[in-house]
Structure formats: C-alpha cells, structure tokens
Amino acid sequence: MSSLQGQAIFITGSSRGIGEGIARTCAREGAHVAITYRKNQEAAEALAAELEATYAISAHVAQLDVRDPHAIKREVRAFAERFGAVDGLVNNAGLVSPGLLVTQPIEKIRELLDTNLLGPIQCAKEVLPLMLARRKGVIINIGSVASGRPFRGQSIYAATKGGLEAFTRALAVEYSRKGIRAHCIVPGPIGTEMLDESRALAEKEILSHIPLKTFGTAQDVAEMAVFLLSERSKFVTGGVHVVDGGYLLG
C-alpha cells in the first residue's frame, strides 16, 4: 500500500514549483490533495486533472491568498467537508521580494510578513481544531536556507523563514501530546522559477557553495515531505529538515 493512501493533504501554493512537486508526490502515494493557487487557475486545473487521471485520486482546486484569513477558513472547511478530514497541511505558499532593508517600503515588508509567516500561522490555526478532534495530523512548513545563510537584500525574507522554524518547534511542543506532528523543511537552491533570477546572475557562485555541485529539484523536497507526512516518521516532530545538497555547509 502507498504511504499516504486515502489521506487528505492541503497544500498551499501548489500549482507550480515546490508545491506542485509535493502535490504530485502525495498523489503518487495515494493521497487526495488540495491544489491551491493565487493567480493561475488554468495551471491548477490542468494539474488536478492530470493527477486524478494518473493516480485515481481526487484533487480539490481552490483559489487561495494566504493573506486572507476568511479565504483560508472557507477553503480549509470546503476541503475537510469533501474528504472528511485534513490529515496533513503543507504551508508552501511564499513570496520573494529582494531589496535592502533601508529601501523597502513598509507595504512590501508587510506583504512579505503576511504571506510568508502570518499566512502559515493562520492556515495552521484553521486546521488544528480538525486535527485535534481526531488526535492526529501533520503540519509541514516550508522554510529556506536564507534563514541561516542570507544573501544581501533578504533581510525580511530571511526573518520570515527563521520565524517559521521557531513556529514549527513551538507547534511541536504545544500539540505533540495530542498526536499532531510539526516539521519544517528547509530547501536549498532548487531549480524552480523562484530561483531563475538568481541563477541567471550567479549560477557559478551558487554552485560553488553546494558540495554536491548541482541544484536540487522540487521532487527532492517532495520526497522529504511525503516521508514526514507518513507514518514512517511517526517518532519525528519539531525538527528542521534541510534539503540543500550541503549548501549550508559549503
């Protein structure tokens, strides 16, 4: 039997990039998945149709801006009503907006904080009562190596991702005794659209810091996510799991 057979996994920002990779891999392992998007409905619906046809699972498509707590409540409830539970939450939706702190307008700072930190907190707050009622569930927050090794222009982004690591540990302390596990996955340089700009400017420099001398893929992150969502990691909680090819060591 597949490791997530019949489970219901809600994934934010899952129409492309790392989120898409996690949705694909969860579906491969037998899970029903939420494909959430902010702008590209066509891509989300195409992905959902592909996963349903390929893996005989059900995919729930929803437009979701994680800055909107009312939208979070609405879509989590719709997903739970359709599948009877939320077994796992993957907080993947995130925003990158490089800029030196002194030049950043307060509106842009708030946008980063609301999307990358407050959004995941609100999503977790919404699924927790559903998980507590069943005394089981897994919450995964997608962090970044920027929290430990930031580039210039990443002060706010790094702060949000560092906050997610701390939030993960606190969730584990508060809810592990209720059967709910919390994890933070920290991807390194992953070959997605989010990396394209940096890669074009400094590919050799980035690779020089990766001992494995290659960029990672969304699939690399997704395999870790599936492991942490599954019962294979039932004695694991509160950890920060780095998937970076050794970047933080380089």
Distance CA 139, CA 121 (A): 11
209 by DSSP, 3-state: which? coil
Distance CA 217, CA 243 (A): 10
Three-state secondary structure string covering 11-69 = ECCCCCHHHHHHHHHHHHCCCEEEEEECCCHHHHHHHHHHHHHHHCCCEEEEECCCCCH
Distance CA 171, CA 147 (A): 19
List, in order, residues 6 or more apart from 34 with CB less than 8 Å away. Answer: 9, 10, 11, 14, 59, 60, 61, 62, 75, 79
Q: What angle do CA 28, 220, 72 make, to 5 degrees?
A: 65
Residue 94 phi, psi (nearest 5)? -160, 165
Catalytic residue from among 37, 55, 157, 247: 157
| Catalytic residue flag (residue 157) | yes
Show which residues are catalytic.
Answer: 157
